[in-house]
Amino acid sequence: MDQSPASSSDSFDIARSVSLSSDPELAFAPDLTVVACNAAYGSAFGVPCEAMIGRLVRDVFVGDPALERLIASLEAVRQSRRPHWVASPAPRPSGARPVGGGEGSATDFAMVNMPVLGADGAVQWILHSLEAVPASTDRAALEAAEARLRSILQTVPDAMIIIDERGRIESLSATAERLFGYSMAEAAGRNVSLLMPSPDREQHDSYLKRYLSTGEKRIIGIGRIVVGQRKDGTTFPMHLTVGELRSAERHYFTGFIRDLTAQQLTETRLKELQSEVTHMSRYMALGEMASTLAHEINQPLTAISNYLRGCQRLLDRLEAEPTPMLREALGKAADQALRAGHIIRRLREFVARGEGDRRIEDLPKLIEDASTLALVGVRETGIAVSFRLDPKAQLVLADRIQIQQVLVNLIRNAMEIMIETANDRRLEVATVAIAGDLVEVSVADTGAGLAPEVARNLFQPFVTTKRHGMGLGLSICRTIVEAHGGKIWVESRPGGGTIFRFTLRAAAIEEAAHAG
C-alpha cells in the first residue's frame, strides 16, 4: 500500500484502506492493539483476521522470538512519527503455518511500519506491512525491497541517511544530497563523519563502538540539535533523530535530519526586532520628557551664569574681604555644573542601546538614577514623591540600563495618570526583600486605578489607557523583567490608585565581593 505518513485525518477509514491493499497488512492503534487486518495477511499465515483484531500485539504474537523487535519498531514509529523498516524474519501470529513446512507453508517476511498521522500531527494508527522474502532469498524479492527503499529515499521530505555499524554511508535520500552537497556516488562507503565538523568528526566512531559494546543508548530514539557540515565546508544547525535497524547479525542506523538554518535566522531576527523596539521605546520616553528636560537643565545652567557674573563683579573690586565670598560663589557654580553634567550623563546612558549586561547593582542607587530622569518637572505637577527602601534589599543582579527603563516607564506612567485625574497626588517607590532570594520593587500612585478587564491585558502589546499611547511600554517592561528571571504585575491600591510590582533576583554580599 502506498500511504504517506501525513495523508490521514481523524475520519480516515483505516480498515477499508487495509482491506484494499494487496500486500499483507495490519493496522495498530497507538496502544498497540490490532484494529485492522486484510485477507492477504490472514492467508499468508493461515490465521483468520478475526483471531487478531481487538487484541494487543503481545497476545497476537505470543511466544514468537521476533516479537520484541516488532514492539521496539512500533514504539520507535510512535515516538518519532517516522517509518521504520525491520529485516526478516517478521513475527508470526499464534497458530501460523511454519516456514518451509512443505506445500502451503508460509513465506518469510520483512516488515515496514509506517505512521498514519491525525489532523493534530499525532500518530493515529501504525500501518504494519510485510515484504515477502522467500527462504531462497531470490533476486526478485531483494530487488523489490531495494526499489521500495529507493522510493522512500527519493520522496521522504527530511534528509535521511542510512549507515552500517562501522559508520559507513549506505544510502542518502535526495533531500540529504541537496542539503550536504554530496551525491550518493560520492558519499557511498565513506564514513558518516564526513558530514560533521570537529570535534564530532573525530569522536563519532568511538560513539558507535561504545554503543555496540555496551548497548547503552545515548542518542538513539532521542532527537537533539547538532551541527552538520556541507561539502563546501560551511556548517549549519540541524535536528537529528537516530533510529536503529538490525538485520541478522548486522546493525544499521537511520538518521533523519531537519535543517534549522531558516528557523534560527527567524529567531535571531525576532531578537533583533525586539531589541529595536526596546531601543525605540527609550527614544519615545525621551521625547515625552524633552520639554521638561530643557527647563530642568536650564535651571542649573542659569545658576552657573549668575554665579559667574557675580564672580566677575567681585573680581572687579577684589580686596582681601571678598575672597571667601568669591570662593563660595565659585564652589556653587561648580556644583551646579556637575548637576547639569549628571543629568546629561544619565540621559545619554538611558538612550544608549548597548547589549544586555547583568551585573550586581546597588538597587537604591539604581532607583535614584532612574528617578532623576523620571521625576523631571515633578515639582510643577504638585505630586508628593516618597521612597521606602528596605535595607535588606540592597543588591540585585540586573542590567542597570534596562531596569532603569522599567522604573522610568512606571514612574512616568504614574505621574501622567495623576496629573489627569487625581487631587491627592502621591507617588511612592518601595523595595522589600522577599522569600526565594528575590527583591520586590513597587511603584504606587493615587490615580484613578484600572478597570479589571484592562488590568488583565495591560502587559499585552498595543494595550494602553493613554489617549495617545502606543501600548508598547508595559509590554517591553514585562519582557525585560521576565528576561531577568522575575515577574511583573499590577494590583489595586487600597484607598484608590494602582500599584505596579516587579521582582528581581537578590545578590548576596559575598557575590558582590567576589565580583569585585
In the chain, domain spans: 1-136, 156-259, 262-354, 357-516
Amino acid letter, 341:
G
Rank 65-69, 211-215, 466-470, 499-503 by mean pLDDT and report only the highest: 499-503
> What pLDDT sits at residue 356?
56
DSSP label at 33?
Answer: B
- Superfamily for the 156-259 domain: PAS domain (3.30.450.20)
Q: Residues 129-143: what's their mean pLDDT? A: 60
**Of 273 and 493, the one with more pLDDT:** 493
SS3 325: helix
Q: Grid coordinates standing for 61?
A: 504474537
> What pLDDT sits at residue 5?
40
Sorting pLDDT into bands at 50, 70 and 90, what band is 101?
A: very low
Sorting pLDDT into bands at 50, 70 and 90, what band is 208?
A: confident
Q: What is the pTM of this model?
A: 0.38
**Of 8 and 94, the one with more pLDDT:** 94
Nearest CA to 243 out of 179, 128, 162 is that of 162
pLDDT(102) > 50: no
Cβ-based neighbours of 469, under 8 Å, separated by 6 or more: none
Contact criterion met (CB below 8 Å) for 449 and 493: yes
CA distance 478 to 466: 18
> What pLDDT sits at residue 445?
92
CATH number of 357-516: 3.40.1360.10, 3.30.710.10, 1.10.510.10, 3.30.565.10?
Answer: 3.30.565.10
Domain 1-136 has CATH 3.90.1150.10: no
Distances (CA, A) of 35 to 27, 138, 465: 6, 33, 58
Cβ count within 10 A of residue 81? 17
**Of 4 and 303, the one with more pLDDT:** 303
Which tens digits make up the pLDDT trace of 418-473?
A: 887 767 889 999 999 998 889 999 999 988 887 776 777 777 665 555 555 545 67
Strands (E) located in 235-278: 235-247, 250-259
CATH code of the domain occupying 262-354: 1.10.287
